[in-house]
C-alpha cells in the first residue's frame, strides 16, 4: 500500500472537492464487492462518470501523469449503498426536509441511490410528480433519487392509481407508503393489476383497525407507561392476508420494515412455497427494542413500533438465514414541533440515512454476519430487488462508491447530523464504522472530517 505524496493526490478524509471528470484512481484500498464476493487489496480507476477498471493492477506507480490519485490507505471501497425506503418531504413539507438536505444526509451515510415513498404533497400518483423528483435530484447532483408510485389514488386505499403510466415515467414499484391498503378487495385488484405489468407492490404491514390509536408495542411496558398498545397481531394478520392475496392473484409482493417473529415466519413459509414474496427491515428493528422508549422518549416512537427483545432477535435471525432480503433506513424526518410533545401525541418516525451503514455494520461486529453479508443487504440486494443498475462493481457502470473505515468509532449526535430534522432513534449511541468518502457518478460528493 503506497502512501507517498503526489501532486494530485489526497486522502479519503482530505479537503472536500469535486473530482475532475477525467481519470481518477483510488489506490491502496480493500475492494469489497458483495455481488461477486470480491474482498481483496487493490484499486479502482474511474473515467468520467464510469468505472473503467478495478483490481490489484490499479497501483500508483503504473498510472499516467493525467490520473488524479486518491490514497485509500487500506480503507474499504465498496459500491455505494442503496436505500429503498425514504420519506422525502419535498414537495410539500420542506420544513421537515428537502431533497437537498436528504441528499446531504444520504451521501454522508454512503448512500448513492435512494427510493422515496409517494407520500409527498402532492402525492406521487401523477407522472408530473415522478418527473419533478427526478429532475430536482439530477440538478442537485447528490444521491440518485428514484420514486415509488402510489398504489391507490391519493393514498386513500380506494381507486387504483395509473400504475402502468407511472411505471413508464420511472416509478420503480407501488405502495401507499406509511398506510396499508386495508381493503382486501382493493389490495387484490392492486396486486392483479401490477402483475399484468410485472410490477412490485409494497405493503406497510399493519392492519389499521387493530393498530387504531396505539402508540407503542402492546405489552407490559405499554401498560406500565400508561400508553395504548399496538398488538403484534396487527402486523402478523396483515402479512398473512397479503401473502394469501399475492398467491391468489399471482402478484409480486414486497413487505416493508418487518418487526415481528411471526411476520418473518409467515414470509419464510411463503418463500418455501415458491411465492414471489420479498421483504425488508430497518435498523431499529434489529438494533433496538421497546426499552429504548425509556421514559417517553419520542425519538423512539416509530411505525411499526419497537418490539420486545424476542422479536428483535427474530429479525436478526431473519437476516442471518436470508428470509429478509434487504435493510432500508426507513428515514422519516419530523420537525421538532411534531416530536417534542407528550409521547401519545408525538408523530411517528425517525431519521436514518446517516446511520443506516453504521448500524448495519453492528451485525458484522456482533458476529451475526460477515462483512460482505452485511454490506450486501444495503447495496447489491436492494438494487437487485428493484432492478437498479447499482450496488456492484462492474466495468462501464456508474462510479457510485463508498469508502469506509469499519473500525472508526463515533457517537451519534442528532444535532450534528446533516438532516434538517434531528429525530434519530439512535441519538447518543456509540457506533463503530464510518463512511469517509462518497462518490456519485465519478464525483466526490462527501468526505468526512479527518
Query: What are 415's three cell numbers?
Result: 444535532
pLDDT in the model for residue 413: 97
Query: What are 442's three cell numbers?
Result: 465519478
CATH assignment of the domain containing 44: 2.30.40.10
User: In terms of domains, do 125 and 43 share one?
Assistant: no
Boundaries of domain holding 136:
79-386
Q: 50-55 and 38-47 as β-strands: parallel, antiparallel, unpaired?
A: antiparallel
Q: What is the DSSP letter of 331?
A: B
pLDDT in the model for residue 223: 97
For the chain, what is the total number of helices (H) and then of strands (E)?
14, 20
231 is a domain residue: yes
User: In terms of domains, do 69 and 94 share one?
Assistant: no
Give the other-Cβ count within 10 Å of 168's Cβ. Answer: 12
pLDDT in the model for residue 5: 35
User: In terms of domains, do 70 and 109 share one?
Assistant: no
User: In terms of domains, do 69 and 173 share one?
Assistant: no
374 is a domain residue: yes
User: In terms of domains, do 148 and 252 share one?
Assistant: yes
pLDDT in the model for residue 10: 53
**Whole-angstrom distance between the N-terminal and C-terminal Cα of the chain?**
19
Active site residues: 330
User: In terms of domains, do 161 and 279 share one?
Assistant: yes
Q: Specify burial of residue 327 (Cβ count, 10 A radius: 0-12, 13-18, 19+).
A: buried
DSSP bridge pairs for 327: 281
User: In terms of domains, do 131 and 50 share one?
Assistant: no
User: In terms of domains, do 44 and 92 share one?
Assistant: no
pLDDT in the model for residue 16: 38
Instruction: Please list the ranges in the chain whose pLDDT falls under 50.
Output: 1-9, 13-20
The total of structural domains in the chain comes to 2
User: In terms of domains, do 27 and 51 share one?
Assistant: yes
Where does residue 164 fall: left (phi above 0), alpha (psi -120 to 50 degrees), or beta otherwise? alpha
User: In terms of domains, do 40 and 92 share one?
Assistant: no
349 is a domain residue: yes
427 is a domain residue: no
417 is a domain residue: no
CA atoms within 13 A on the CB side of 417: 29
CA distances 163 to 153, 169, 205, 272, Å, are: 10, 10, 21, 29
CATH assignment of the domain containing 177: 3.20.20.140
User: In terms of domains, do 291 and 338 share one?
Assistant: yes
- The Cα 169–Cα 132 span in angstroms is 11
From 283, 278, 241, 286, select the one nearest 260 (Cα to Cα): 286
340 is a domain residue: yes
User: In terms of domains, do 310 and 322 share one?
Assistant: yes
392 is a domain residue: no
Where does residue 123 fall: left (phi above 0), alpha (psi -120 to 50 degrees), or beta otherwise? beta
Amino acid at each position: 500500500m503506497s502512501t507517498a505524496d503526489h501532486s494530485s493526490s489526497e486522502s479519503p478524509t482530505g479537503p472536500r472537492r469535486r473530482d475532475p471528470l477525467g481519470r481518477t484512481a483510488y489506490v491502496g484500498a480493500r475492494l469489497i464487492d458483495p455481488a461477486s464476493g470480491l474482498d481483496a487489496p487493490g484499486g479502482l480507476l474511474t473515467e468520467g462518470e464510469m468505472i473503467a477498471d478495478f483490481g490489484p493492477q490499479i497501483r500508483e506507480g503504473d498510472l499516467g501523469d493525467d490520473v488524479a490519485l486518491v490514497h485509500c490507505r487500506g480503507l474499504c471501497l465498496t459500491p455505494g449503498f442503496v436505500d429503498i425506503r425514504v420519506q422525502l418531504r419535498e414537495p410539500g413539507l420542506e420544513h421537515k426536509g428537502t431533497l437537498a438536505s436528504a441528499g446531504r444526509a444520504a451521501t454522508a451515510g454512503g448512500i448513492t441511490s435512494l427510493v422515496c415513498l409517494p407520500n409527498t404533497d402532492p402525492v406521487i400518483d401523477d407522472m408530473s410528480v415522478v418527473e419533478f423528483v427526478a429532475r430536482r435530484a439530477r440538478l442537485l447532483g447528490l444521491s440518485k433519487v428514484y420514486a415509488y408510485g402510489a398504489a391507490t389514488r391519493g393514498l386513500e386505499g380506494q381507486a387504483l392509481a395509473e400504475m402502468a403510466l407511472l411505471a413508464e415515467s420511472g416509478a420503480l414499484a407501488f405502495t401507499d407508503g406509511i398506510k396499508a391498503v386495508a381493503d382486501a378487495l382493493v389490495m387484490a385488484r392492486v396486486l392483479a393489476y401490477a402483475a399484468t405489468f410485472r410490477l412490485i407492490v409494497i405493503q406497510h404491514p399493519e392492519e389499521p383497525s387493530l393498530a387504531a390509536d396505539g402508540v407503542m408495542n402492546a405489552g407490559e411496558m405499554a401498560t406500565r407507561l400508561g400508553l395504548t398498545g399496538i398488538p403484534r397481531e396487527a402486523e402478523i394478520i396483515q402479512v398473512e392476508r397479503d401473502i394469501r392475496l399475492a398467491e391468489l392473484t399471482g402478484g409480486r409482493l414486497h413487505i416493508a420494515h418487518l418487526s415481528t417473529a411471526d411476520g418473518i415466519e409467515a414470509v419464510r413459509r411463503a418463500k418455501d412455497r415458491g411465492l414471489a414474496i420479498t421483504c425488508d427491515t430497518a435498523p431499529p428493528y434489529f438494533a433496538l427494542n421497546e426499552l429504548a422508549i425509556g421514559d417517553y422518549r419520542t425519538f423512539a416512537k416509530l411505525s411499526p413500533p419497537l418490539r420486545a427483545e424476542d422479536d428483535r432477535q427474530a429479525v436478526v435471525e431473519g437476516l442471518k438465514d436470508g428470509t429478509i432480503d434487504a435493510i432500508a433506513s426507513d428515514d422519516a424526518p419530523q420537525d421538532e414541533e411534531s416530536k417534542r410533545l407528550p409521547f401519545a401525541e408525538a408523530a411517528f418516525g425517525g431519521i436514518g440515512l446517516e446511520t443506516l451503514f453504521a448500524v448495519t455494520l453492528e451485525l458484522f461486529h456482533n458476529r451475526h454476519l460477515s462483512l460482505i453479508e452485511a454490506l450486501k443487504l444495503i447495496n447489491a440486494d436492494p438494487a437487485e430487488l428493484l432492478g437498479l443498475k447499482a450496488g456492484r462493481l462492474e466495468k462501464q457502470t456508474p462510479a457510485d462508491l463508498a469508502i469506509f473505515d469499519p473500525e472508526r468509532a463515533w457517537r451519534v449526535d442528532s444535532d450534528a447530523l446533516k438532516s434538517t430534522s434531528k429525530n434519530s432513534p439512535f441519538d447518543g449511541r456509540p457506533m463503530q464504522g464510518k463512511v469517509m468518502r462518497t462518490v456519485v457518478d465519478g464525483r466526490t460528493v462527501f468526505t468526512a472530517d479527518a
